[in-house]
Amino acid sequence: MAELAEFNENTDEMVGHEALRSMLKDDNIDDFRREFLALHSYEQSEFYLEIGDDERTRLYHFLAPEEVSDFFDNLELEPDEFEGIFDAMDARYAAHMLGAMQYDNAVDILNEVSREKLTSFLTLMDREDAREIRALLNYEEDTAGGIMTTEFVSVTSLMTVREAMRHLKEKAPGSETIYYVFVVDEERRLAGIMSLRELIIADDDEYIGDIMTERVVSVRVSDDQEDVAQIMRDYDFLAVPVVDYQDHLVGIITADDIMDVIHEEAGEDYSRLAGMSEIEPTTDSSLSTAKKRLPWLVGLTFMGMITATMLTTFEDTLAQVAILGAFIPIIGGMAGNTGTQSLAVAVRGIATGEIQEASKVKLALREMGSGVITGVVCGAVLFTIIVLMYQSPVLGMIVSTSLMIAMTLATLLGTLVPLAMARVGIDPAVASGPFITTANDIISLLIYFSLANAFMSYLI
């Protein structure tokens, strides 16, 4: 109980953001540094995002670049916001701050600034930091090389455990993680791996090459970041080594980097499923948002014209039995909904790797079976309602049969389209919900009016 009381007392004494802002305003540097540096780096970044440009300028005078770099590693900003931040920050201060950051995070930021600022920062920062960052900037942004860090510890297979521990103690302060100890040969090729626990409990005089695990799961610098995320998820890795085409160890990818990748990829897939070309920041203007959405919407408009043309083609059918028009939204809407559900299942399965080559046919058959069952049930319900309301079993049969066929084909289309796109190397998420919905509208109308024409003599 005493410990709990002490915790609550400490919690009550925590300095809020308003108090920190007051310290900034009053030039109370000692109190500000004590309270601000006691916060977690995430909490520091949250405070930084809340304050204005003038307060940020004062904060730079209170903190060293290395201290600012700690929370810049956790800073979550839209890409275009970094330009404004560095406009208000002294270039030499910014260069030292970026050099003190984890190199992979610094590269992510530098990829968003102008070429002029990038060159200036690399010129002003420490030579060793600039060299490491330049090496990472050469890799494509969405590849393993683009998200890896070069701040890791490796040992050689010819070291003894005692030598490896001494080396680890020397290099650990500059490493992002030391949960795994990567082993390389004389030419820095990845030769093995061992956990920190295995190293600690091993005999001091044993050679690393004798106790390491030679079978190492690694990724290439050119591998797509989404594939890397899937590997780390499947193997429950905290870090994975990155090698070049000759198996030289060039970096590692840590779990925190992969969490960012998963968040980014999920956002991209969601945007594409919603019929948008990319993730839209909430800070975008109306004009910018419209520009990003227009390509899809214009394309869907042309597809919608096909539906309009079909309705014109069946104008005589509607003129003879006007009640047919009342059920167009139901059939089109239900087909679109079931198609989108199947699309979501297929895209998720492809993205997570759950759908393998052998299971694609099985998935298609399962979804089609689901479409048949749901179509029969919904068709039966609709048939009953139509017979009760309009006393027309023929109309009920046409509408319910059309609904069943449309829902079955919609589920099949929602599955096959993303599978086909993935097969030819296109992101299946671009088979967006609006696209599937519009395509299913066309198919369902064709089925509906074809049946209506076939049984027209019984309707009139």
For 408-447, the pLDDT digits (tens) are: 998 988 888 888 877 777 666 655 566 777 788 888 888 9
Instruction: Identify whether 442 is part of a domain.
Output: yes
Instruction: Identify whether 271 is part of a domain.
Output: no
d(CA 232, CA 259): 10
d(CA 55, CA 210): 57
pTM higher than the cut 0.75 = no
Instruction: Identify whether 341 is part of a domain.
Output: yes
State how far Cα 91 lies from the chain centre.
Answer: 32
Same domain? For 17 and 110 the reply is yes
For residue 92, what is the domain's CATH number?
A: 1.25.60.10
Same domain? For 137 and 159 the reply is no
Render each residue's pLDDT in the chain as its tens digit; 460 residues: 444 444 344 444 345 889 999 999 898 999 999 999 999 999 999 999 999 989 999 999 999 999 999 999 888 787 778 888 999 899 999 999 999 998 888 998 998 898 899 999 999 999 999 998 998 888 888 889 988 988 888 999 999 999 999 999 888 887 777 888 999 998 899 999 998 899 999 999 999 999 999 999 999 999 988 889 888 888 888 899 999 989 999 999 988 888 877 777 666 665 555 555 555 555 566 776 677 666 666 776 776 777 777 777 777 777 777 788 888 888 888 888 888 888 878 877 776 666 765 577 888 888 888 889 999 999 999 999 999 998 889 999 999 999 999 999 989 888 888 888 777 776 666 555 667 777 888 888 889 888 888 888 777 6
Same domain? For 24 and 126 the reply is yes
Strand (E) or helix (H) holding 183? strand 180-184
Same domain? For 127 and 249 the reply is no
Instruction: Identify whether 405 is part of a domain.
Output: yes
d(CA 256, CA 263): 11
Instruction: Identify whether 278 is part of a domain.
Output: no
Same domain? For 412 and 292 the reply is yes
Token pair in block for residue 77? 């900003």
User: Which residue's structure tokens are 């956990």?
Assistant: 195
The residue type at 73: D
d(CA 209, CA 207): 5
- In terms of C-beta density within 10 A (0-12 exposed, 13-18 middle, 19 or more buried), how is residue 39 classed? middle
Instruction: Identify whether 3 is part of a domain.
Output: no
User: Half-sphere exposure of residue 122, counting CA atoms within 13 Å on the CB side?
Assistant: 20
**Residue ranges making up the domain that contains 107:** 13-142
Same domain? For 181 and 323 the reply is no
Same domain? For 313 and 213 the reply is no
Instruction: Identify whether 203 is part of a domain.
Output: yes
For residue 304, what is the domain's CATH number?
A: 1.10.357.20
Q: What is the dihedral of CA 48, 54, 59, 61, to 10 degrees?
A: 160
Same domain? For 298 and 446 the reply is yes
Query: Strand 249-254 and strand 239-243: pairing?
Result: antiparallel
Token pair in block for residue 267? 């956002």
Last residue of a domain, one of 85, 108, 142: 142
Same domain? For 246 and 112 the reply is no
Q: Reduced to 3 states, what is the DSSP secondary structure of residue 444?
A: helix
Instruction: Identify whether 275 is part of a domain.
Output: no
For residue 229, what is the domain's CATH number?
A: 3.10.580.10
Same domain? For 202 and 71 the reply is no
Same domain? For 295 and 432 the reply is yes
Please tell me the total count of domains within the chain. 3
